[in-house]
Chain A
Amino acid sequence: MKKLFIAVAAATIGLVSVQAQDKFFTKSGKISFYSKAALENIEAHNKAVTCVLDTRTGALQFAVLMKGFEFEKALMQEHFNENYVESHKFPKADFKGQVINNTEVNYSKDGVYPVKVKGKLTIHGETKDVETAGKIMVKQGKLVADANFNVDLADYKIEIPKIVKDNISKTVNIAIDCSLEPLKG
């Protein structure tokens, strides 16, 4: 009994200490979104996304500042923040989830690994379960996380007024492109 207790305690301590080396992160990850509609195409890019991946457990988290999305047209950016995502009320979007097939990814061997990611996405104060396929590329001790998925604006209570219904698509495509480096300490 005592032996079991010591073994479990040791494993717990081991868990705490080993974890640190298995985390990868970035604060300059890129997320883009695209809307294609009859009258207009809309595109925006955010190059300051925070992303953390725990390669041991497959836990994956993103934090995105909504004001960081940049548009070609200043007015579009203004409307995006003021009227659609209401960034003064909901300054950040985030994702907390898991790489489901994490054990199939060999983080110490260079290569491109297809992954399935599942978790909770929160935008405009609304949280929904999402699941998507993606890729993790391992190269010389660094990772690149890549994914592409669609989101229904109505799920996140983002309203499109009738007058601009041909300018904004009800479904928006989101592209993730984050280069991750090991988190030290």
Chain B
Amino acid sequence: MLFRKLALLAVTLTWLSLVKAQEEDLLSLVGSDEKPEKQYVDYAFKSSRVIMSHSMELIRPGVMDLRILHRFGNINKGIYEMFGLDNASMRLGFDFGLSKNLMIGIGRSTNKKELDGFFKYRLIHQSHGPGSIPFSLLFVGGSSMTLLKFTDTTRKNYFSSRLGYYGQMILGRKFSESFSLQFMPTVVHRNLVPRPEDPNDVFAAGIATRVKLSKRISLNVDYYYRLNPNPADGTKNPLSVGFDIETGGHVFQLHFTNASGMNEKVFLLETTNDWAKGDIQFGFNISRSFQLKKKK
């Protein structure tokens, strides 16, 4: 009698578990998307710039990024200069995402009235999964032109003297949600140099990193070491440290830097401030993203 009851119970339980098991496994019956696929890694930096430099990120296709950069004077100039606030320079720029791997940008700085333009092309996009490459590789090419009137009108002045060019590779990797690192070997060329012994072409090794402090705030560092400067010209390597704060459609970047100017030619070749002497400037960038071409 007892045996019969137990047997019936066992069978019923098996039957019930069979039904329940089938219910749980419905999705796996369809063999859902568990096939490993190559996935691209995005958002290594919150912006297409670290602070001074281009980052390994691009503006998305169809998007325009309006960038307003402010750089104030040296903080150590004291209260009369309002710690540098009285001496503000600005760059207004527009960056456009053309395709998944290509973007362009133009801008104009008040410093030396310089126009600049560049394109950035991604050769390799960091990914994980089958057939993936663990880093991103990009190429940036740009040019700048000063619109200042020539100071010495008695000598023959060439239009080409206004121009400078730069080329840069960016090798970067997003190591984790909170840490990204990139290297930027760069060459800058200027047609006109201040002194005969100054090199027209300067090579620099750049390094930049982002450490994410919270969902919307990150700490960024941006530094270049010039390999062949003229040691007698009094220029220094540029170093910037700052915070990115992201809200809705804007990214605010607050930073401290010794760098002059806001395009590659100027900050790499014409920085004279020295962190060790406290020649630090406060800078404040705002970028706002506009979707020009809707995605669907």
List the interface of chain A (C-beta within 8 A of B): 1, 4-5, 8-9, 11-12, 15-16, 19, 23, 25, 27, 45, 48, 50, 52, 54, 57, 59, 61, 63, 65, 70-75, 78, 81-83, 88, 94, 96, 161, 163-164, 167, 183
Contacts and interface: CB of A to CB of B under 8 A. Distances in A.
A15 B23 CA distance: 12
A5, A65, A75, A161 pick with most chain B CB within 10 angstroms: A75
A126 B239 CA distance: 44
9 contacts: A8-B15, A15-B18, A57-B22, A59-B22, A72-B296, A73-B294, A75-B60, A94-B27, A164-B247
B295 A72 contact: yes
Q: For the side of the interface on B, what is the size category? A: 35 or more
Given A15-B15, A75-B291, A5 B33 contact: no
A89 to B, nearest CB: 8
A4 B5 CA distance: 11
Q: Is the interface of B mostly helix, strand, loop or mixed?
A: mixed
A35 to B, nearest CB: 14
A126 B61 CA distance: 34
Contact of B248 (A1, A167, A183): A167
- Which 5 pairs across A and B sit closest by C-beta, in order of nearness? A74-B60, A52-B26, A73-B291, A59-B23, A75-B289
Interface of B: 4, 7-8, 11-12, 14-15, 18-19, 22-24, 26-27, 29-30, 32-33, 42-43, 60-63, 97, 177, 215-216, 246-249, 289, 291, 294-296
A50 B60 contact: no
Given A50-B30, A74-B97, A163-B247, 19 more contacts: A9-B11, A15-B19, A23-B26, A27-B33, A45-B296, A50-B27, A50-B32, A57-B19, A61-B26, A61-B27, A63-B32, A70-B296, A75-B291, A78-B43, A81-B43, A83-B215, A83-B216, A161-B247, A164-B247
Contact of B33 (A50, A82, A96): A50
A57 B22 CA distance: 10
Contact of B63 (A75, A163, A164): A75
Given A12-B14, A54-B23, A82-B215, A74 B248 contact: no
A16, A54, A82, A167 pick with most chain B CB within 10 angstroms: A82
Contact of A74 (B27, B30, B215, B291): B291
Contact of A8 (B4, B12, B177, B249): B12
Nearest to B97: A74
